[in-house]
């Protein structure tokens, strides 16, 4: 059985940054990243490459899995904030989290990232914040860096080329079981067994269900009761341009008058594209945008998500989200697309009605349908109220031809009990990134990886 000093399960940004920091300070460490997906050089999605009109549900999803993680085909919006994007500041001070994010940015710049940032602190952005507030919409504060989908992929490839000779990266190696024997961790995969002294789980949202199962087996306590569910909105770029030109991405939070539920804008992509993603076997929607002018679309897209925390006796939000997404897949044979005007009139959008739309959808594989048959009333009411509210600060949001794609689900991974070193109750076994339920963004996932690397380095020095 091959033995490593350090085993990292998952080659997403959290695992990558962890490995980078470890190898930078201790080049002699034997480290292995176990990644179930493809190498960054071979990740190909038939849908995004127009080789298929529909998601063909590949055995490993090139969008979600492979070196670079689910962030590789994202447009790389790196947020410099602790206001959203995770809960790392529940374990580490906010100052420390910001320092880790800044450090991560230095690494990205070294591998080719831009130094340009957008900010919500400029005079124009402050004016936007005021207008939003006057409409009971709350603009969260952040600096954001947009790498662009094509650049993000290049940067991940540069990092891969840097790391590949310094440590082991095992692709197509899905870890199926974790156990402990004589203070070593045993990892099982179809390709064989491995052992390691230090273990880091960095499995992302795609691996969170499996990791939850492992935690239950290892008697590590878990908590989770939240889900964000909603739609992706797509409209002409001009409607939001006064906001996106200034802050790039506006995270706007609103409590609806009807239910006092939190609805938020999320993942805003000026002149972007709507895409499907295969989340644990169901098709949901997401969005991204390129930085290359030639690859930009005419539209802006963003998610409108309703946050819901379930209370006793129900404690399976993942199942709930998957159930709604499965319903939408069943009715729409994939992702459903509806014009806002049709939704308000209580009628489905069909192909004939879609042809009348002034707004052209960027996601061609979505089928015209009726989200009213998919989303529970409370979610629909919340989304409709939020759209009218946004119309007050970006006139045209509530136009008839505003397109709604459904459904978008943000699953919250169950959170294992971790101490403030992000260590489980098993010494030398850590959990980082989105799969541990402690982050929900590239920046904080990366920061968690660097943080754990430093803790391990300290421990090794102390031995």
Ligand X SMILES: Cc1cc2nc3c(=O)[nH]c(=O)nc-3n(C[C@H](O)[C@H](O)[C@H](O)COP(=O)(O)OP(=O)(O)OC[C@H]3O[C@@H](n4cnc5c(N)ncnc54)[C@H](O)[C@@H]3O)c2cc1C
- Measured distance CA(170)–CA(173) in Å, rounded: 6
The whole-angstrom separation of Cα 288 and Cα 340 is 21
Residues between 282 and 311 with contacts to ligand X, criterion CB under 6 A:
286, 288
Give the range of 21-29, 33-41, 89-97, 100-108 binding ligand X by CB under 6 A. 33-41
- Which is closer to ligand X, CB of 214 or CB of 329? 214
Q: Which one of 174, 234, 370, 385 is in contact with ligand X (CB under 6 A)? A: 174
Query: How far apart are alpha carbons 403 and 399 in whole angstroms?
Result: 9
**Cα end-to-end span (Å), the chain:** 25
Residue closer to ligand X by CB (options 174, 385) is: 174
Give the shortest CB-313-to-ligand X separation in angstroms.
30
Pick the piece of the chain touching ligand X (CB under 6 A) from 35-43, 109-117, 159-167, 329-337.
35-43
- Kindly tell me which residue out of 171, 205, 251, 415 binds ligand X, with binding defined by CB under 6 A: 205
Consecutive H or E run containing 322: helix 317-332
Q: How far is CA 113 from CA 69, 75, 135, 153, in A?
A: 18, 12, 36, 11
170 binds ligand X (CB under 6 A): no
- Residue 408 is a binding residue for ligand X (CB under 6 A): no
Contact between 437 and ligand X by CB under 6 A: the answer reads no
Contact flag: residue 440 with ligand X (CB under 6 A): yes
Q: Which is nearer to ligand X, 382 or 448 (CB)?
A: 448
Asked if 441 interacts with ligand X (CB under 6 A), we say: yes
Q: How far lies 460's CA from each of 9, 22, 66, 182, in Å?
A: 20, 11, 29, 18
In whole angstroms, what is the distance from residue 43 CA to residue 460 CA? 35
Residue 11 as a binder of ligand X (CB under 6 A): the answer is yes
Closest by CA to 67, choosing from 8, 12, 112, 22, is 12
Which candidate, 34, 72, 87, 37, places its Cα nearest to that of 200?
34
Residues 249-288 that bind ligand X (CB under 6 A): 267, 277, 286, 288
Q: Which of the ranges 74-82, 126-134, 317-325, 341-349 carries the binding residues for ligand X, by CB under 6 A?
A: 74-82
Q: How far apart are CA 300 and CA 211, in angstroms?
A: 35
Structure tokens at 32: 């292995």
By CB under 6 A, residue 325 contacts ligand X: no
- When the beta carbons of 36 and 253 are compared against ligand X, the nearer one is 36
- Cα radius of gyration rounded to whole Å, the chain: 22
CA dihedral sign, ordered 189, 191, 195, 196: negative
Question: How many other C-beta atoms are found inside a 10 Å radius of the C-beta of residue 165?
Answer: 6
Q: Residue 44 or 130: which CB sits closer to ligand X?
A: 44
Q: How many residues bind ligand X (CB under 6 A)?
A: 43
Smallest distance from ligand X to CB 266, Å: 10
Nearest to ligand X of 71, 406 (CB atom): 71
Contacts with ligand X by CB under 6 A lie at 9-15, 34-37, 65-66, 69-71, 74-77, 79, 85, 174-175, 202-207, 210, 267, 277, 286, 288, 433-435, 440-443, 445
């Amino acid at each position: 059985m091959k033995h490593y000093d350090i085993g990292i399960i998952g080659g997403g940004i959290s695992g990558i940054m962890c490995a980078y920091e470890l190898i930078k300070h201790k080049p002699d460490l034997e480290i292995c990243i176990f990644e179930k997906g493809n190498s960054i050089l071979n990740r190909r999605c038939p849908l995004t490459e127009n080789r298929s009109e529909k998601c063909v549900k590949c055995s490993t999803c090139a969008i979600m899995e492979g070196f670079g993680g689910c962030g590789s085909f994202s447009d790389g919006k790196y947020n410099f904030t602790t206001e959203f994007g995770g809960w790392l500041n529940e374990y580490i001070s906010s100052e420390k989290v910001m320092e880790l994010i800044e450090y991560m940015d230095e690494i990205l710049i070294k591998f080719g990232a831009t130094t340009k940032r957008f900010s919500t602190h400029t005079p124009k952005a402050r004016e936007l914040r005021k207008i939003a507030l006057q409409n009971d919409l709350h603009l969260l504060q952040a600096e954001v860096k947009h790498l662009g989908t094509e650049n993000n992929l290049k940067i991940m490839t540069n990092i891969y080329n840097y790391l590949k000779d310094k440590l082991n990266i095992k692709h197509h190696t899905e870890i199926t079981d974790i156990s402990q024997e004589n203070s070593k961790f045993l990892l099982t995969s179809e390709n064989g067994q491995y052992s390691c002294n230090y273990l880091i789980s960095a499995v992302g949202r795609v691996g969170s269900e499996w990791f939850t199962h492992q935690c239950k087996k290892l008697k590590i306590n878990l908590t989770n009761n939240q889900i964000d569910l909603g739609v992706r909105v797509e409209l002409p770029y001009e409607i939001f341009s006064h906001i996106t030109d200034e802050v790039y991405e506006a995270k706007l939070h609103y409590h609806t008058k009807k239910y006092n539920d939190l609805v938020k804008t999320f993942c805003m992509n000026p002149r972007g594209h709507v895409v499907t993603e295969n989340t644990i076997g169901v098709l949901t929607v997401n969005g991204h945008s390129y930085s290359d002018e030639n690859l930009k679309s005419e539209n802006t897209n963003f998610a409108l998500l309703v946050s819901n925390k379930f209370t006793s006796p129900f404690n399976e939000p993942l199942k709930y989200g998957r159930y709604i997404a499965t319903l939408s897949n069943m009715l729409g044979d994939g992702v459903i697309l509806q014009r806002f005007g049709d939704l308000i009139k209580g009628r489905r959008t069909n192909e004939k009605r879609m042809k009348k739309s002034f707004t052209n959808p960027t996601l061609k594989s979505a089928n015209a349908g009726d989200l009213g048959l998919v989303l529970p009333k409370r979610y629909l009411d919340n989304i409709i109220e939020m759209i009218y509210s946004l119309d007050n600060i970006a006139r045209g949001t509530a136009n008839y031809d505003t397109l709604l794609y459904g459904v978008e689900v943000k699953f919250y991974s169950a959170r294992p009990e971790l101490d403030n070193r992000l260590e489980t109750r098993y010494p030398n076994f850590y959990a980082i990134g989105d799969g541990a339920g402690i982050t929900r963004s590239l920046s904080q996932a990366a920061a968690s990886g660097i943080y754990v690397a430093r803790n391990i380095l300290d421990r090794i020095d102390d031995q």
